[in-house]
Structure formats: C-alpha cells, structure tokens
Structure 1
C-alpha cells in the first residue's frame, strides 16, 4: 500500500508513515522512488499503538502559540509582534516527493497518484509562508507564485489548514 493509504489507515500523517518506514518501525521498501508499505507490519504497528494508550476523546484543535510550537513551528517576536511560523507546512499536504542530492524533485505523488515533478514544484510554490499570529489568534498564509493543475492555491491552503488542525488535535 502507498503512504497516503497507510497514513489514513493508521490515523497519522504521511510524514509519520515515511518516518516509520525510514526508521524501520514498519516494514517498507522503495520501488520506483516511492514507499510500498507492508500491510501486516502496519496493522501490527497500529495494534501496538492501541495497546499503549487508551483512545482519547476527540479534541477540538485550538490554535495557540504552544500548540503551534508543538507541531514544529518557530516563534518570532519583534516590535510587539508575536508569531509562530510553520516552516514545515508542506508536511501537512498529501504530497510525497523524492529528491535528488541536488534538491531537485525526482518523483512525486499527490494523494497517492503519481504526478509530474513540475506540478509538485508548483504545488510547493503555491504557498509562500504560513504563520500563526498571537495578536488575533488566527492562522495566516501568503500565497506564492505557483499554481498547479492538480490543486488551486486555495485548495492547497485549505488542505494545509486541515492538516494543521489534525496535527493539533492529535497532541
């Protein structure tokens, strides 16, 4: 199974599945530049996770400086402004990429479907910055110059916000 399907089944992010695969927590192999997750290994990992902790009641995602820092944000304070920048916002997308050592994209998939490397680059370029402003308690974003055929800037933004909400609710 691919990483997107595995993430949905395990109720974690795609980045977590990739991390588990890299660290050997779940059995996975790379075929044509993409992770192929062993179903039985993933089921075993999910069962272990269920034994470790009782199910938590659903929690509402609350945007705050603390929650933004907990999901990997970087705090910035200057001239009376207090913001937390989410520099890893692309991790909240259903986008999988592999890169050459140069940093260029060698393979990409959106929601488990292979896409052109150029489209992946445009998806990553559709948002320039994402930050939480403690003054108004809201998440803000600045659109970039790219717009993909795969998803509009607005769709990418909504997906990032939904991913951040999910990550905060999982804390």
Structure 2
C-alpha cells in the first residue's frame, strides 16, 4: 500500500493528466455517438412518416407487395410466352409480284403474293386477270417449298418473302 502511495505521489500529475485526456476522448466519442444517433432517428422518422405501423409491420407489408408484384410478373411472362408462340404462326414475311399474264390485257393486273410465317409455312396466292375471266388460286408452302410447281412469278414472290 505504501508503494502505491509513493507511486501516486511521484507520478500523480501524470496520472491525473492521463485520466483527463482519457475523459476528454470518452466525452468526444459520446458527442459523436449522439450525433450519429440523431441522424439515425431522423432517417427512421422519415421512413416511418405517415405510417402508424411499426417497422416490422412496414417490412411485412412491403414484402407482401413484392410477392404480389413477382406473381403478376410471372403471369405476364406466361401470357407473353403464349402470345409469342401464337405470333410465330402469323404472317411475317410477304413477297408480291405484279405482272401481265396475257398479252391482250393492257396493264400489270395479275399478281402473285407469298404469305409466310416464321417457319416459312404459308401460301402463294396468284390472281390471273384476263379480258374475259379472272382466276385466283393458292398453293401451300411448307418450310419454304411448294409441293406444286410454281410459275416464275410465284417463285419470285416466294424468294422476296424468304429474304
């Protein structure tokens, strides 16, 4: 005990200064802590502004909203897949050639039209216009090829559609 008293008497000033410095450091840290706590409280009040719910209820509400949004997105994706599969079967490629089929007709009134979907399936529709009669007929196309012989104009229309 005597040793402790003698050490304190000898180094008392240094010990007091050290304690004072440590006290000032703790006080400074307490001020920084209060400032940060006020910042967090302001952010919390801003987050909870207009809500009578606690934070847990608010998070649960947002989670439910996210779940319903994800469900709607999944429904839209399914609907989009259905539309996309139906769109592949729609006419997407068209080629048309107008020509004069008969010498006694004055203008290019005859035509051949190729109508194809994404898989190059469809028809070639041909209309022949003459002075005394008009004839229209169609030839099926599968994978860009007809089972029937095509005229030069029909081949031209088909090539336009395939390009």
TM-score (structure 2 length as normaliser): 0.25
Higher relative contact order (CA 8 A, sep 6+): 1
Which structure has the highest strand share of the two? Answer: 1
Give me the TM-score of the superposition, normalised by structure 1.
0.24
Answer with 1 or 2: which has the greater Rg. Answer: 2
